[in-house]
């Protein structure tokens, strides 16, 4: 987080030399980057370094408060790399001598259920005051609720099928499937990132609501139910919570969208190479070339209008702090994307067409709000 602040300060000092305007900086991020974007609005270190913000598919505010340290992960990292764990100093000294690749390659040993479970490991913390400059000095939820943040025009989003693919490794592996069915009370908090508070009630209620208390099986019904539970717990509910907080407490407009378009490519494709849904990260395909993974979308493609429309909205937002059409963006003619309001929770659905709706997935997120209530 502090490295990102250093980069934003570099932009302020140098961007004019590249033809840029230091007084018109837009930051955007997807997934972990989405969390970064929101936290920069809260951090005193990032104040004044940007003027518009876009958070795609993740939120730093979810089911419970942000922690003040993750020493248990540092101890586990030390154990994995055969470092002493007697105290913080020896952990630090030993880890600083380890090659970066050895540290990076150790990630799978942090997983305590299947591959990639839990999804969330290292994250930002609220820093205790030891006399240092602090990136975060209070919990993000409290900062938003009490208006202690520097807001800017803001776009927030989630995809229709966030993290649905996490169901497949579980359902297609007999050992993992048996474990999730028979040890639900132990596995569910790991896979669905549930805080200690209210845990026993939460695991029972989520099994009832999402799985109808039925055993999971390697079939289409379980794929849909477990995929939805992964998506809502890891991404969807936190984004819902963030959008509903920010439309109430921001001094600037907040726009909310659902990315529902399924094109020729996706970050999750079935064994035949066919997209199965609008997955986590998929909106990035139409904003950047992502040539490391996907072919460039040609003008002749059925997907090309999505590129035109997405980039036009981002272009207008970066210029004016409003994604709606201007004279020089005819790709968006006819679009009216209203900001989200507490009593009129509008959102834009990016499907085959651009359409405006209200109350995104609120019927599904009701159970989460009941399990983890806050004051919006």
pLDDT at 136: 98
Q: For tokens 């800017």, what's the residue?
A: 152
- pLDDT in the model for residue 52: 98
Question: What tokens does 83 get?
Answer: 């470092």
- Per run of 10 residues, the mean pLDDT along the chain (length 376 residues) is 98 98 98 98 97 98 95 96 96 97 96 92 95 96 97 98 96 97 97 94 97 97 98 98 98 98 95 94 96 95 98 98 97 97 98 98 98 96
Give residue 45's pLDDT.
97
C-alpha–C-alpha distance, residues 217 and 223, integer Å: 8
**Which residues sit opposite 30 in a β-bridge?**
56
- The whole model's pTM is what? 0.96
Q: What is the pLDDT of residue 242?
A: 98
Provide the pLDDT for residue 120: 86
Residues near 311 by Cβ (< 8 Å), separated by ≥ 6? 286, 287
Give the Cα-Cα-Cα angle 356, 37, 7 (nearest 5 degrees).
Answer: 140
Average confidence score pLDDT of the chain? 97
Tokens for 170, please give them: 């579980």
**pLDDT at residue 262, rounded to an integer:** 98
Task: Quickly list DSSP for 216-274.
Answer: P-SSHHHHHHHHHHHHIIIIIHHHHHHHHHHHHH-SS-EEEEEE----S--SSB-TTS-
With contact defined as beta carbons under 8 Å apart, do 155 and 255 qualify?
yes
**For residue range 321-367, what is the model confidence (pLDDT) as tens digits?**
999 999 999 999 999 999 999 999 999 999 999 999 999 999 999 99
Q: Give pLDDT, residue 114.
A: 87
Secondary structure letter of residue 172 according to DSSP: T
How many CB atoms within 10 Å of residue 64? 15
| Number of alpha helices (DSSP H) and beta strands (DSSP E) in the chain | 14, 6
């Amino acid at each position: 987080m502090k490295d990102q602040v250093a980069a934003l300060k570099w932009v302020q000092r140098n961007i004019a030399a590249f033809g840029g305007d230091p007084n018109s900086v837009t930051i955007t991020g997807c997934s972990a980057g989405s969390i970064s974007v929101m936290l920069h609005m809260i951090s005193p270190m990032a104040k004044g370094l940007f003027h518009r913000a876009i958070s795609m598919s993740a939120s730093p505010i979810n089911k419970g408060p942000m922690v003040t340290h993750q020493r248990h992960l540092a101890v586990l990292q030390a154990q994995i790399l055969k470092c002493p764990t007697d105290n913080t100093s020896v952990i630090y000294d030993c880890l600083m001598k380890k090659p970066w690749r050895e540290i990076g390659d150790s990630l799978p040993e942090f997983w305590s259920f299947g591959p990639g479970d839990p999804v969330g490991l290292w994250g930002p913390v609220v820093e205790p005051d030891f006399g240092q400059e602090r990136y975060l000095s209070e919990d993000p939820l409290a900062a938003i609720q009490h208006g202690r943040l520097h807001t800017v025009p803001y776009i927030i989003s989630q995809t229709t099928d966030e993290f649905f693919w996490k169901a497949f490794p579980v359902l297609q592996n007999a050992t993992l499937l048996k474990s999730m069915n028979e040890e639900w009370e132990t596995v569910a908090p790991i896979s669905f990132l549930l805080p200690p508070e209210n845990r026993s009630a939460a695991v029972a209620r989520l099994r009832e609501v999402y799985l109808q208390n039925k055993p999971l099986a390697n079939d289409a019904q379980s794929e849909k139910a477990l995929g939805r539970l992964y998506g809502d717990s890891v991404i969807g509910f936190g984004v819902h919570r963030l959008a509903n907080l920010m439309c109430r407490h921001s001094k600037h407009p907040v726009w909310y969208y659902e990315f529902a378009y399924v094109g020729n490519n996706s970050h999750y494709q079935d064994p035949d190479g066919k997209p199965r849904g609008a997955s986590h990260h998929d909106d990035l395909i139409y904003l950047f070339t992502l040539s490391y993974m996907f072919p460039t979308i040609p003008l002749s493609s059925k997907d090309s209008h999505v590129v035109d429309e997405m980039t036009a909205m981002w272009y207008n937002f970066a210029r004016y702090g409003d994604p709606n059409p201007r004279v020089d963006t005819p790709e968006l003619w006819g679009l009216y994307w209203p900001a989200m309001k507490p009593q009129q929770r509008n959102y834009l659905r990016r499907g085959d067409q651009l359409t405006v709706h209200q109350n995104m997935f609120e019927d599904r997120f009701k159970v989460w709000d009941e399990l983890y209530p806050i004051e919006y």
